[in-house]
Amino acid sequence: AQRVTQPEKLLSVFKGAPVELKCNYSYSGSPELFWYVQYSRQRLQLLLRHISRESIKGFTADLNKGETSFHLKKPFAQEEDSAMYYCALKGGGYQKVTFGTGTKLQVIP
Amino acid sequence: DSGVTQTPKHLITATGQRVTLRCSPRSGDLSVYWYQQSLDQGLQFLIQYYNGEERAKGNILERFSAQQFPDLHSELNLSSLELGDSALYFCASSVALASGEQFFGPGTRLTVL
């Protein structure tokens, strides 16, 4: 079975402070990991995927297979980063995608 | 709009009733996924269709059913509604059969009174 755990329901940080949204997963094979973001009154959208190893809007995420984690990080939080963030895992082959319960990021001005 | 569309935006109904939610995928996408989003449970996968066939099932209640039509739009039918069914229902689509890169619709907010 595959599982995604986001331990924090709410994370509040001040503008300019570093951000780390935690994501831990459970999967026996080699997963694909994703971060999705949902801004207020907007639809859920893909933020980044571990395969691309890209930085989007200043956010990065590194897959740590030893710790089975895929934490989302940004060195300096901006007010526009306030949103709901979901970590998602897709197993190999035709496995479905499993989403975590989400973390609400609140950036305080 | 070439993105995923969902109708209606809002739906208010009473317990025991039946409703149908509609989703049109992005042009060219063959997979449609349905999710339920509630405050305490996050985003829960319900069911997936690919090119008209059911391909994966998640935590979908027996009172719920779905189908995907030849034109690839999909409908989620919710019956014998209960207060606990109140939630946001999202549809997503992707080109591939099973993809982690999904494109989401705006959602339908269902309120059961």
Contact B101 A34 (CB under 8 A): yes
Please check whether residue A70 touches B, CB under 8 A.
Answer: no
Phi-psi category of residue A66: left, alpha or beta, with phi > 0 → left and psi -120 to 50 → alpha: alpha
Please check whether residue A63 touches B, CB under 8 A.
Answer: no
Q: Of residues A16 and A95, which shows the higher confidence score?
A: A16
Three-state secondary-structure class, residue B84: helix
Q: Which residues of A touch B5 (CB under 8 A)?
A: none
Query: Which residues are A19's β-sheet partners?
Result: A74
User: Considering only A90-104, B12-26, B59-73, which range has the smallest mean pLDDT?
Assistant: A90-104
Nearest CA-CA partner of A94 in B91, B43, B56, B53: B56
CA distance A39 to A37: 6
Arithmetic mean of pLDDT, B46-50 = 94
Mutate which of B97, B101, B109 to test chain A, going by most A C-beta atoms within 10 A?
A: B101
A15: Cβ contacts below 8 Å, ≥ 6 apart? A77, A78, A79, A107, A108, A109
Residue of chain A nearest B101, judged by CA positions: A46
Taking all residues of chain A, what is their mean pLDDT, rounded to a whole number? 92
A67: Cβ contacts below 8 Å, ≥ 6 apart? A24
Q: Judge whether A87 and A100 are in contact, CB under 8 Å.
A: yes
Q: Tens of pLDDT along A68-105?
A: 999 999 999 999 999 999 999 998 776 778 899 999 99
Provide residues of B within 8 Å CB-CB of chain A: 4, 33, 35, 41-45, 48, 55-56, 58, 90, 92, 97-107
The CA distances from residue B64 to A50, A80, B11, B12, B45, in Å, are 34, 37, 16, 17, 13
Q: Which residues of A touch B51 (CB under 8 A)?
A: none
Phi-psi category of residue A58: left, alpha or beta, with phi > 0 → left and psi -120 to 50 → alpha: left
**pLDDT at B1 > cutoff 70:** no
Q: Tens of pLDDT along B75-108?
A: 999 999 999 999 999 999 998 887 889 999 999 9
